[in-house]
A and B are shown apart, each in its own frame.
Chain A
Amino acid sequence: GQQLNQNPQSMFIQEGEDVSMNCTSSSIFNTWLWYKQDPGEGPVLLIALYKAGELTSNGRLTAQFGITRKDSFLNISASIPSDVGIYFCAGQGGTSYGKLTFGQGTILTVHP
C-alpha cells in the first residue's frame, strides 16, 4: 500500500518556540489533512489542503500542500503547553475515495 513518512517522530521544545513537521509520500495525493490527537482520544482535524501549492492557516497553525503533491508541511508558531499531543498527516489518493493513508505521527512535548 501507499507509504507516508512523517518527520520528526518526536519533538521536545520550550513554550514559545516554533515547530515544523513534514510528510512525504511515494505517490501522489489529491488531499492532505493534518490531525491532532490528545492522549486517549480520537484525532481531530486541524487543517485540510486540496490543491498543490495551497497554503492554509488556522490560528497559529499553517500547512502547505507541496507542489509535487507528494509532500506536506505543518508549522506551529509560538507553541503553548496545550499544543502537546500527537500530530498526524494523512493523504487521500485519486482512487481511494474516502480512505486515508496516515503518517506515523509526530509526538510533540512542550516544556513550560
Chain B
Amino acid sequence: DGGITQSPKYLFRKEGQNVTLSCEQNLNHDAMYWYRQDPGQGLRLIYYSQIVNDFQKGDIAEGYSVSREKKESFPLTVTSAQKNPTAFYLCASSILGTGTGELFFGEGSRLTVL
C-alpha cells in the first residue's frame, strides 16, 4: 500500500547525542515536510523540501538538519544543539503543482531525551 513510513516510532536519547529520524514515502510525491508537535501548540514546521537535493528552513529549524538525496526519503537529524528536543515528530508529503495543499502524514516518531 502507498503511504509514509516513519521510524522509529519511539526513541530515547541522552542529552548531547544526535539522533536521526527516518521518513520514507512511496506516493511519488515531490514535496516532503517535517513538523514538530507539542501539547497545546499545534504543528510547527521544521524543514521542507520541494525537490531532491534542495530544502528550506521552516519556522523552527534551529538545532535540526535534513537531507534529500532521494525523492522517497527525507531524514531529520535532531542535533545536540536543539535545546528542547522531547516532542512528537511528524513527517508529511504532498503533490506539487495541483494547488490542493493537502499533506499526507506518517504515524509519527516520539523522541524523549533522558
Contact A98 B106, beta carbon cutoff 8 Å: no
Main secondary structure of the interface of A (DSSP, over half): loop
A-B interface contact total, Cβ < 8 Å: 70
**A104 and B42 contacting across the interface, CB-CB below 8 Å:** yes
Chain B interface size band reads 20 to 34
A66 sits at the interface (CB 8 A): no
Query: With A and B bound together, what is the CA distance between A44 and B107 in angstroms?
Result: 10
Q: Closest 9 CB pairs between A and B?
A: A42-B105, A92-B101, A102-B42, A31-B101, A102-B43, A104-B42, A98-B31, A42-B107, A43-B105
Q: Judging by beta carbons under 8 Å apart, are A104 and B40 in contact?
A: yes
- State the A residues within 8 Å of B (CB): 1, 4, 6, 9, 30-31, 33, 40-45, 48, 50, 88, 90, 92, 97-100, 102-105
Query: Which chain B residues lie closer than 8 Å to A43 at the CB level?
Result: 43, 90, 103, 105
Q: Is the CB of B100 within 8 A of A48?
A: yes
Asked whether A105 and B42 contact (CB < 8 A) given A42-B108, A98-B48, the answer is: yes
